[in-house]
Amino acid sequence: MDLGLAGKTAVITGASVGIGLAVAEGLAAEGANIVMAARGGERLSEEATRVANAYGARTLPVSCDVATADGCRDLVESTDAFGGADILINNAGTGSNETIAEAGDDKWQYYWDLHVMAAVRLARGLVPQMRARGGGVVLHNASICAVQPLWYEPIYNVTKAALMMFSKTLANEVVGDNIRVNCVNPGLVLTPDWIKTARQLTADTGGDWEGHLQGVADEAGGMKRFASPEELAHFFVFLCSDKATYSTGSTYFVDGGWLRSV
């Protein structure tokens, strides 16, 4: 099936690992050029080279911190190498662990900048490029926690909810420019962060990190398993493609049945 992505240029944040890397691979396999952004320059360069070699794609690693205005500016300027961007995947993010009573302003501000302002700044920089190229796609990787919060990460819950609303608002603003904007709310996805945390939590009790994660999945319900990053990436690639041209302003839950509402 031709998804109409060959020759398109996609900008992906948080692209050196996990979901972002899987999306980069999925789009590269369809013939897209990939601008891969992350903070860790060495790992990012290695993965960009691997993706290019594996799929015959043109890749550009951009080491930057999109939680800062300067980092977003550098990423936007990097797209000059491809003449502009057609696709933006706002994926960079991380979980939090705090209580509202104990978390300081600095932590709230950091997560706001990472999850929300990065999306705002990159939209301001890249949407004009898409408009000039006749259209484009913006996807936001939020979380099921935007509507079904976990008690131990209130900052993550709040900022992901804000990202979901930003996605809808941006969609309304650019719908007349042939730019489609959607949000994806994943559930449990087996990223390196989950594995790292599980190893830490089980280090003193036998090290059964896989059993720990299965317990998390069992408690979530639904399919009672984690998705692979590649499973989620397939959905992102579809939403970027010519097969999803009537989809904009929506939020899609890809959570294996974890969501407990309609």
- Catalytic residue list: 156
**Amino acid occupying residue 228:** S
Range 55-59 contact pairs with CB under 8 angstroms and sequence separation of 24 or more: 55/25, 55/28, 55/29, 57/28, 57/29, 57/31, 57/32, 57/33, 58/33, 58/34, 58/82, 59/24, 59/28, 59/33, 59/34, 59/35
At 162 the three-state DSSP class reads: helix
Tokens matching residue 84: 């502009």
Residue whose entry in the numeric block shows the structure tokens 């696709």? 87
Distance from CA of residue 207 to its chain's centroid?
30
Would you call 51 helix, strand, or coil by DSSP?
helix
- Residue 37, CA atoms < 13 Å, CB-side half-sphere: 25
Residue whose pair of structure tokens reads 């949000």 in the numeric block? 183
Q: Tell me phi and psi for residue 87, to 5 degrees.
A: -140, 135
